[in-house]
Amino acid sequence: MTHEFPLVLAAAFYFIAAVLLFGFIRKRSVGLRNTSFAFAALGTLIHAGAQYSHWFGQSVPDVSLPHLLSLCALVVMVLLLTSTFSRPALYAAGLVALPIAGGILLLEWILPHGGYALGEASPGIAVHVISSVLAFGLISIAGVYAFFVFIIDHVLRRHHLSPLVRSLPPLEVMEDLLFKTIAAGFALLSLSLLSGIMFIDDIFAQHLVHKTILSIMTWLLFGIMLWGRWRYGWRGSLAVRLTLAGIVLLVLAYFGSKLVLEMILGKSWQS
């Protein structure tokens, strides 16, 4: 079985699960929910198998963006399904998470994979590269969840419950998945910063100081956000604003620094 076929199959299962979950939310049929969960679980297993074959089934897997985003989507699906065992109501967030995961798998299947080979880097640098991109991917997905949290919170405050809004997951459910995804991204961002400090010889000589400072600011912001959620129960519009601020900082760290270095200063971080 090739790597591509499981991607399409898993994506199909995710989309089927999303349609069945939408039917459950509209009709409250337990059978639809259970069938949806079964398709989502099967899709996640196939997705995990496809990721395993990519990362461990070849001697030097490439670290391309589609593969890493696919790994992020797998993490989100595992978070969703495992959370459902303790709080069944959280599965409603799959109405957002399932189509996103399916779409990412289709992108992995369609887009060219001109990536960076792990064999070209030391283990420490490889850990830094992978954890950095995974952190960015997970926090970007959290940004999508923050958008839905904003929409639901905005509508609830104005008491304008259209049929479309009623079909969306409850606000508490989306917030829970938002913070779980941010927590996973925060852990990976911590690993990225730690591995960068340990394995990159001189961040000043390699022109990485701006990226490092912005990444540390992002880490502090999400750390404060998670602490505020745990200590004070932060939620709603505050969570959305902090999430978007963190994403802006991370985009500036990852892409703004690259733009300034390579296009304005004509330098590279390796030099």
Tokens of 94: 């799959």
pLDDT value at residue 270: 46
Classify residue 82: in a domain, yes or no: no
At 19, the amino acid letter reads: V
- Based on the domain organization, do 107 and 201 belong to the same domain? no
- Based on the domain organization, do 112 and 171 belong to the same domain? no
The closest of 43, 21, 44, 29 to 94, measured between CA atoms, is 21
- Based on the domain organization, do 110 and 190 belong to the same domain? no
pLDDT value at residue 129: 75
What number of other Cβ atoms are within 10 A of residue 255's Cβ?
12
- Based on the domain organization, do 108 and 181 belong to the same domain? no
- Based on the domain organization, do 150 and 247 belong to the same domain? yes
Long-range contacts of 248-256 (CB under 8 A, 24+ apart): 249/214, 249/217, 249/218, 249/221, 250/135, 250/136, 250/139, 250/214, 250/215, 250/218, 252/214, 253/210, 253/211, 253/214, 253/215, 253/218, 254/132, 254/136, 254/211, 256/210, 256/214
What number of other Cβ atoms are within 10 A of residue 60's Cβ?
9
Query: Which structural domain, as residue segments, surrounds residue 24?
Result: 1-70+89-116
- Based on the domain organization, do 163 and 105 belong to the same domain? no
Classify residue 80: in a domain, yes or no: no
Task: Count structural domains, the chain.
Answer: 2
Classify residue 79: in a domain, yes or no: no
The predicted-structure confidence for 130-142, as pLDDT tens digits, reads as follows: 788 788 888 888 8
Q: Are 226 and 179 in contact (CB under 8 A)?
A: yes
Q: For the chain, how are helix, strand and coil distributed in percent, rounded to 5?
A: 80, 0, 20
* CA–CA dist 128, 96 (Å, integer): 30
- Based on the domain organization, do 261 and 189 belong to the same domain? yes
**């960076």: which residue's tokens?**
116
Q: Are 150 and 241 in contact (CB under 8 A)?
A: no
The predicted-structure confidence for 45-60, as pLDDT tens digits, reads as follows: 999 998 888 777 665 5
* Domain boundary residue, one of 81, 116, 151: 116
Classify residue 75: in a domain, yes or no: no
- Based on the domain organization, do 99 and 181 belong to the same domain? no
Point out the residues of the chain with pLDDT beneath 50.
Answer: 1, 259-271
- Longest distance between any two alpha carbons in the chain, whole Å: 61
* CA–CA dist 189, 205 (Å, integer): 22
pLDDT value at residue 35: 95
Classify residue 84: in a domain, yes or no: no
Classify residue 12: in a domain, yes or no: yes
- Tell the burial category of 152 from Cβ atoms under 10 Å away from its Cβ (0-12, 13-18, 19+): buried
pTM: 0.74
Length of the chain: 271
* CA–CA dist 232, 45 (Å, integer): 36
pLDDT value at residue 262: 43
pLDDT value at residue 3: 59
pLDDT value at residue 99: 94
